[in-house]
Structure formats: C-alpha cells, structure tokens
Amino acid sequence: MSKLQENVRFAVLPLASDATRASEFARTLAPHPLVHQELPYDPEYTMYNRRLTAMTMTSGSAEEAYWKLRREVILRHTGELPIEVRGPDAERLLNAVFTRDIAKVKVGRCSYQIACDDAGGVMMDGVLVRLADDRFWYGQADGDLTQWLKAHARGLDVEIFDPDVWISQVQGPDSLKVLEAAVDGPYPEPFRYFDAAWVTIAGQDVVVTRTGFTNELGWEVYLGPEIDVRAVGARILEAGKPYDLTPVAVGGARRIEGGLLNAGSDFDETVTPYEAGLGAMVRLDKGEFIGKAALEKADQRCRTWGLRVPGGVARIGRNLIKDGVSVGRVCSSAWSPFLQCGVAIVRLDDPEIAPGTALDVLCQDDQTRAGETCELPMYDRNRDIPRGKAVDIPEIPAG
C-alpha cells in the first residue's frame, strides 16, 4: 500500500434532520435509528452493508474503549444487516446455501453460518437466528447475500427480504446486569450463549440474543420498524447508568485476540473455510449444499493464524518475510493493550508453516520487527468469557 493510499480516509457524518438537503449518494447511506445517541461524541462513520457504522468517537480512545469493553460494559450500534428468510421451504433453502445443518438449529437458538460459492470459496459469514420453524434472520457481514439466496430459491415456497431491522450490542462483564435492569418483566431464563429470546423493553417486544462481535460476555438487541426504537434505546441507556454505559467505537484488537474473522479482509471468496480456519463450520456429512463437491476435494489444512509482534503493529498487506522471501499476508492488525504487543490475523502461503514460526514483519512505522505466529484465539481457547464461565476482570498492565 502506498503512502498516498494510507492517508485516504472515508468518513460520513449523518444528516442533522430529514429536512436537510442531501446528495443522491448520501441517501444511500442509512444511519442507525439510534444514531442520535452517538452524535454528542463527534462520530466519524464508514459504510458497512450500505449502512453507517461509527469508526471513531470522542467517548474514548481505542485503548480506553478496549478496557471499558473488557472490564465494564459498552454500547455499540452496529452495521450488520439482518436478512429475513421465511416460508415452508426456508429451512430447505438455507440448508442448500450454508455449510452446517440448519435442522439442528432449534427455535430460540442462534448459529454461526458461512456460505460458499461453487468453488468452495467463502462468500459470507454471519449469525442465523431461528425465530420459528419457518422464519429466520441472518445477520450478515458486509456484502450482499440477499440476491444469492433469491437466485437459489427458484421453485421454493419462501420469502427473502430486508425486514429493516437494526442491531445494537451491549458487551462486557456488566452487560447482563444491564439487560436485567432494562427488561420490563422477568429476565429470560434460560439465556445461554447463542440463545435468542423475546423480551419487553420500554413496552416494546424485541428479540435479544447472547451474541456479539467482541468475544466478551454480551447480548444484542434486534430493533424492527414496528417498535418505538427510541424508547428502547433510552431504556437501555438508563439501565446502564450505574455502569457508565455509553456508545463507543470498538477497534479490532479484541476480535483479533479472539480469532473472530472479518469478512472481506480476513477471508474472501478466494479462500476456502479450511484455509480460513473455519473447517469446523463445514459438515460434509449433511446433504448437498453449494460448494460441497469442491470442499470434498479441498486441502483441509489451515493457512490462517494469529501473529504477535513485540513493539509494533504489522502493516496490512504482504509484509511477512521468512528467510528473505515473502510468505504471506497480514489481513488485520492492531495494538493489544492486554497482551502489550501488536496482534494480527495473517494468511500464509504455505500450510506447513505452523504456529510458533518466527517471521520478519514490516510494521506501520516502516520498521521491520520479529514476530511469531500463534493459534487463534490467542487466549480463552474454550471461549469461556462470552459463555459466562470465566468472570475474572483483567488487570490493566502497569505503564
């Protein structure tokens, strides 16, 4: 990446009111219905799923937001796009598109699902919520799965559409305390990791899920057009006051540590699930699905790992060197306030290069440093933190 490219930024500020004259382009960028909660913190936005999602806010630096997530609680209004799939053949269609068995996803449960193309490349990932036997929401990453689903729905009794639902997440050790204070009635029980439940918040019936893109304890709320979204948002903030709940823009360090891959950067359609480290998400013993034939013949070795770099943050791109030769790509990188080093997700050319391999890494400051590949997640291998089984609050390293 050239110096010029590094300095190019894309930031869009939402319109102050509907009466404000907007350009044609601006009208294609939709703000979250709770954007008013972010505006006091001078947010800068990027486009995600043709929606605006905050990248920076004055509510805290990247390091402050990181520790607030890990030690307290944060509120984030996301750009994820739920697609609704419903009808008698909804399960049949989803089984043809996704690599895991949809029949095993019970009503009131969520499931991480990936979709592949015919060549076995990963097109999309996201969280599937089963609302009823014949009704699903799929919170997709950045991209467009809607037309892909419609293209493969020919002859099926199924509807596929954008339900105009938005997602907000409350994440961190105090997150479930905020939910308990926010709901009108009883706290949902059981409410296990990857459960979904209908609750009432500020008199509005909403779906909440024990999910989130942080690898911390947390939940998400799905906000539809039929409810008073502002009332729900105000109640959540009120419930979070004892825990200093505020909207923040969370950076990539925590998700990188946790091995949560970002579509479009950590994988794309040129990478199979096996190469992306998502082989466990493929069930070749289920019925036919798009990409199955290719995946049956594919090399099942992983090429996607973590990377630690003491003293610096790896530069995105083909900046991994071994014995003077380029051996792979830095896909995502950030500074980890907890591990006190640069962390990254990398994709290596040679599947024989394993965790524990020393590499020379070109960093963001133009310095080349020694790094070492590692497994993902970098800690909390059993994901006990988001499951609520590990409750220790991490200490902030001295200095």
Strands in 204-209's sheet, in edge-to-edge order, are 74-77, 166-171, 218-223, 204-209, 196-201
Q: Which amino acid is at 104?
A: K
Sign of the C-alpha dihedral computed for residues 146, 151, 152 and 156 taken in this order: positive
Cβ neighbour number for residue 378 with a 10 Å cutoff: 18
With 0-12 / 13-18 / 19 or more C-beta atoms within 10 angstroms meaning exposed / middle / buried, residue 139 is buried
What residue type is assigned to position 243 of the chain? Y
Name the DSSP letter for residue 252.
Answer: S
Q: Do residues 315 and 330 make contact, with C-beta atoms less than 8 angstroms apart? A: yes
Contact 343, 333 (CB under 8 A): yes
SS3 state of residue 48: strand
The response to whether 44 counts as a known ligand-binding position is no
| Dihedral sign for Cα atoms in the order 236, 239, 240, 244 | positive
Instruction: Tabulate helix, strand, coil % of the chain (nearest 5).
Output: 20, 30, 50
Helices (H) and strands (E) in the chain, counts: 9, 18
CA distance 171 to 213: 9
Residue 278 zone, left/alpha/beta (φ > 0; ψ -120 to 50; rest): alpha
Query: 242 is written with which tokens?
Result: 């004892």
CB 82 within 8 A of CB 222: yes
Backbone angles phi, psi at 289, to 5 degrees: -150, 160
**Which pair of tokens denotes residue 88?**
């008698």
- 28 closest CA partner among 15, 40, 16: 15
**302 contacts: CB under 8 Å, gap ≥ 6:** 274, 275, 276, 277, 279, 351
CA–CA dist 179, 191 (Å, integer) = 11
Residues belonging to the binding site are 220
Residues belonging to the binding site for substrate are 220
